[in-house]
Amino acid sequence: MDATASAGQGPGPTADRAVGPAPDPSATPMIRLRGVGKTYDDGTVAVHDLDLDVAPGEVVALVGPSGCGKSTTLRLVNRLIEPTTGRIEIDGVDVTDSDPVQLRRGIGYVIQSVGLFPHRSVIANVMTVPLLYGETRRTARERARDLLATVGLEPDTYGDRYPHQLSGGQRQRVGVARALAARPPVLLMDEPFGAVDPVVRLRLQEEFHQWRAELGTTTLVVTHDIDEAIALGDRIAVFAHGGRMAQVGTPAQVLGHPVDDEVADFVGATRGLRRLAVVRLTADLVEPIGDLTLGDLGAAVSLGVSLEEALAVMLREDVPRVAVRDGARFVGVLTPDGVHRALRRTLAAGD
């Protein structure tokens, strides 16, 4: 059996992401938080002295236990609640200088419960914000149809349906399309896929990166699930109790080098296994071997897949090594020892 796993074809968060240009960390941040805090009248500290820069086009996943300030941070960014301290900028403009209603119209916001208008059709739901901005019905409808297609809903099939006629996953897709209808530079997502079953959730996580690549929107996404944060985020911001941001870094950095015991406990004792999903197969991990060909080995993976995916092929096919290819070219084999070396190397490098 030829069990070939090509980059971008694996299931769930192990698959290569369909991404556009990499975010430029040296660019002026699209979102900047400096010393941001929120303390309620009863003395409860929801967010404490938060600093965070999010580059244009970057996805940052906010993750942590319940009550640690993740969702509060999103609501501070779009001024559903007001900060007690600090400064919040979007594209260099202090959000407190903006009219809150106009500000929110320019920020996409997706929540777990979706919040679709039940008495409006799918197409009318997506058209809502463009019409508020004064676009013609024709232009708004064309934009809505394009976005429904982008999120995987054929507009001729689903456009005239009502929310109660959709599955949970389909409603989430409509919610994303509506949030993107005004072409917002910033998208805020609060547990966006938490209300759907695990299979649909994995599919939505995969498709998220296709939407992101096409639209280039800067995104903050809240989740309590470290695996979802790994699947979605270019970087992960781990919140701790008391509204404190304990660590921010790439998934590999956070999994490989948690800064304290609280972060280590949250990402879990299996963080070494989770790192398999975020470390990619590169040419220097491949072993050349004699005169073997791709056909001799059968099971094959492509350069660029995650180590998790490569190891899964080995286990599924019950083979001690898999062929590695670069396009159609056979470049060598990967063994379990190569997987181990890759993990040790990235730990030593601090990646």
More confident residue, 201 or 304: 304
Report d(CA 191, CA 131) in Å as an integer: 27
Beta-carbon contacts of residue 334 (< 8 Å; ≥ 6 apart) = 281, 285, 286, 287, 301, 310, 314, 321, 322, 324
Q: What tens digit of pLDDT does each residue of 188-208 get?
A: 999 888 766 777 778 888 888
Are 4-11+280-349 and 28-275 in the same CATH fold? no
Tracing tokens 């069990």 back to the chain, one arrives at: 3
Q: Which of 39-43, 257-261, 286-290, 318-322 has the lowest mean pLDDT?
A: 286-290
pLDDT at 248 over 60: yes
Read off the amino acid at residue 300.
Answer: A
Report d(CA 336, CA 2) in Å as an integer: 19
Q: Band the pLDDT of 349: cuts 50, 70, 90.
A: low
What pLDDT sits at residue 4?
40
What pLDDT sits at residue 22?
55
Contact, 210 vs 149, CB < 8 A?
Answer: no
What pLDDT sits at residue 6?
33
Q: Which of 191-195, 260-264, 293-297 has the lowest mean pLDDT?
A: 293-297
Cα–Cα nearest to 221, from 255, 280, 252, 176: 176
Q: What tens digit of pLDDT does each residue of 131-175 get?
A: 888 889 999 999 899 989 888 899 999 999 999 999 888 888 898
Residue-range domain boundaries for the chain:
4-11+280-349, 28-275
Cα–Cα nearest to 148, from 131, 161, 133, 165: 161
Q: What's the Cα-to-Cα distance from 103 to each of 107, 110, 131, 234, rounded to whole Å?
A: 7, 15, 16, 25
pTM of the entire predicted model: 0.76
From 3.40.50.300, 3.10.20.30, 3.40.190.10, 3.90.1280.20, which CATH number describes the 4-11+280-349 domain?
A: 3.90.1280.20
Fold of 28-275: Rossmann fold (3.40.50)
